[in-house]
Structure 1
Amino acid sequence: MTTGTDELQYSVVDNIARITLNAPDKLNSLAPAMLTGLVAAIAQAHEDGARCIVITGTGRAFCTGARLDPSFAGDGDLGAVIEKYYDPAARAMADSDIPIVTSLNGIAAGAGLGFALSGDIVIAARSAQLLCAFARIGLVPDAGTTWMLAQSVGRAKALEMMLLAEEMSAEDAAAQGLIARVVDDEALEAETAKVAAKLAAMPTKALGMIRKQVRATLEGDLENSLAAERGHQTIAGKTHDFREGVMAFIQKRLPSFKGE
């Protein structure tokens, strides 16, 4: 199926939900309708039984953050704007039961950087750049960007990126552990499709729990991590895909997972 608005497109093919930020003339900058649409699209992917979500953009940008038109500042209460539009989108990505691939076709800046780094596997075109741009306009990071950067690269590098607001190449981002893969621009679509297809063929319930275990570990201590592992393993051990995986191992064949 294919749905969406002019600025956000959604489709599902072969168990892969594809969400495309589609405002190339505005460098896929975020309007409120795009953010509410992103939340709705992630929920729709779950309802449609998708087993992987891909988020990407059209044109020369992945997403350049908030759309800075004259109405952006409103009455000055940007916290209310964040609470209403940006935080729900960040939570929808974090809470997904389906693995998410973000495919960076171009620059990811501001809140767009936060959403880009929220992917479980981030694949970037070689020409893509990352930019924590908030300080350039007198703002602070939002959309989960502070947490993502601090957890990924540590205090020193995170502060350098946030305070100096300098562009980072895709290759430097990979070297810093911010993203998973860098490919030539012309190979981005094929690499994204390959990774998404592999994830969509794997045991979806286990993958969803793995992504949440990592979050639990980053947010807590060893006991918190052990508890998450124990609880999730109890659930995973009762799934069809676990039984299929064991039988495939015993029978020396490739497993056929159903995401159940």
Structure 2
Amino acid sequence: MTDQKTYDNILFTIHNGIAQLTLNRPDKLNSFTQAMHLEVRDAFERLRADRSVRVLVLTGAGRGFCAGQDLSDRAVEPGAKGVDLGDSVEKFYAPLVLAIKELPLPVICAVNGVAAGAGANLALACDIVLAAKSASFIEAFCKLGLIPDTGGTWHLPRLIGHARAMGLAMLGEKLTADRAEQWGLIWKALPDETLMTEALALAEHFACAPTKGLAFTKRAIHQSYANTLPEQLKLEGEMMRELGYSHDYREGVDAFIAKRTPHFKGE
């Protein structure tokens, strides 16, 4: 089954359990405008409403993944009052990060080129990040007198530690995809020509995987940052209790014993 809707700033399709959302302003390195935010929000609403979806692939069109905010979309005129950037974060960027985190299925990000500012941190909000070797990550906020928003101040120290997070955030230096992999910022750096092939192959794997178990894994790992060990062990017990009654657990055990390929429903 294929579901497709026409947008002006993104491409969005659902086919055989795989949703693909492509930021599609290549002439502007897919930088965000309010119009793009609203289209992405609409796509996520459709995504959540379609129970056939088992995985989401997020990528960009053209030579860049996302250059963050399109500054011309909220430019400050000379002599005019500043803009309320907090309002922008609260209305658009924060809800987008939370939508990715709360989505009960894997989210793969295929970073096909430069990921700067909010674009870099949007990628880091995803569950598995693949990047073309020509791609790079730039926390450009410091060059504008800002802080790394879109979850940057939360993800960076957790992924790569305090010292590296401070260096990236306060210097705004370009981080190559290879170095990002070495530091543990992303899952893999891949040859440019194989990025989307491998991203879609991974999506096909997840489309046939036990989605509920993956969703619980995702939620448990995120919750671990706020929990004590006893609290986390209790959460694991509660999740395992529920998953033990699921179709996919029974199917996984049956397939293992019968030495056959399991047929998970994702329920």
Superposition TM-score tier, normalisation by shorter sequence: over 0.9
The secondary structure found in structure 2 opposite 1:69 is helix
Deviates more, 1:79-88 or 1:230-239: 230-239
Which position in structure 2 is the counterpart of 1:60? Answer: 63
2:177 is aligned with 1:170: yes
Pick the aligned partner of 1:222 from 229, 240, 247: 229
Counterpart of 2:46 in structure 1 is: 44
Quick check: 1:46–1:98 contact (8 Å CA) kept in 2? no
Does the residue aligned with 1:50 lie in a helix, a strand or coil?
coil
What are the Cα deviations for residues 97-154 of structure 1, in whole angstroms up to 9, with x where unaligned?
Answer: 0110000000111111111011111110010000111001111111111111111011
Q: Which amino acid aligns with 2:55?
A: C
TM-score, normalised with respect to structure 2: 0.94
SS of equivalent residue, structure 1 residue 162: helix
Instruction: Name the structure 2 match of 1:233.
Output: 240
- Which residue of 2 is the match for residue 107 of structure 1? 114
Would you say the 8 A contact 2:33–2:73 is kept in 1?
Answer: no
1:30 paired residue number: 32
Report the CA distance between 1:4 and its aligned residue.
Answer: 4.0
TM-score after normalising by structure 1: 0.96
Q: CA contact under 8 A between 1:28 and 1:61: conserved in structure 2?
A: yes
Q: Does the CA-based 8 Å contact 1:216-1:224 persist in structure 2?
A: no
Q: Percent identity?
A: 39
* Letter matched to residue 222 of structure 1: L
Matched residue, 1:181: 188
| Residue 5 in structure 1 maps to residue 7 in structure 2 | yes
Cα RMSD after superposing both structures: 1.3
Q: Is the 8 A contact 1:245 1:255 kept in 2?
A: yes
Between 66-75 and 180-189, the greater mean CA deviation after superposition: 66-75
Name the SS for the 1:188 alignment partner.
Answer: helix
Superposed displacement of residue 53, structure 1 = 0.2
**Secondary structure, counterpart of 2:259 in structure 1:** coil
Give the secondary structure class of the aligned counterpart of 1:130.
strand
Aligned length: 260
Distance apart, 1:76 and its partner CA: 2.5
**Structure 1 alignment gaps of length 5 or more:** none
Structure 1 position 218, deviation (Å): 2.2
Which consecutive residues of structure 2, in runs of 5 or more, have no partner in the other structure?
Answer: none
Q: Distance in 2 between matches of 1:7 and 1:184?
A: 27
- Is 1:135 aligned with 2:142? yes
Q: Retained in 1: the 8 A contact 2:124–2:186?
A: yes
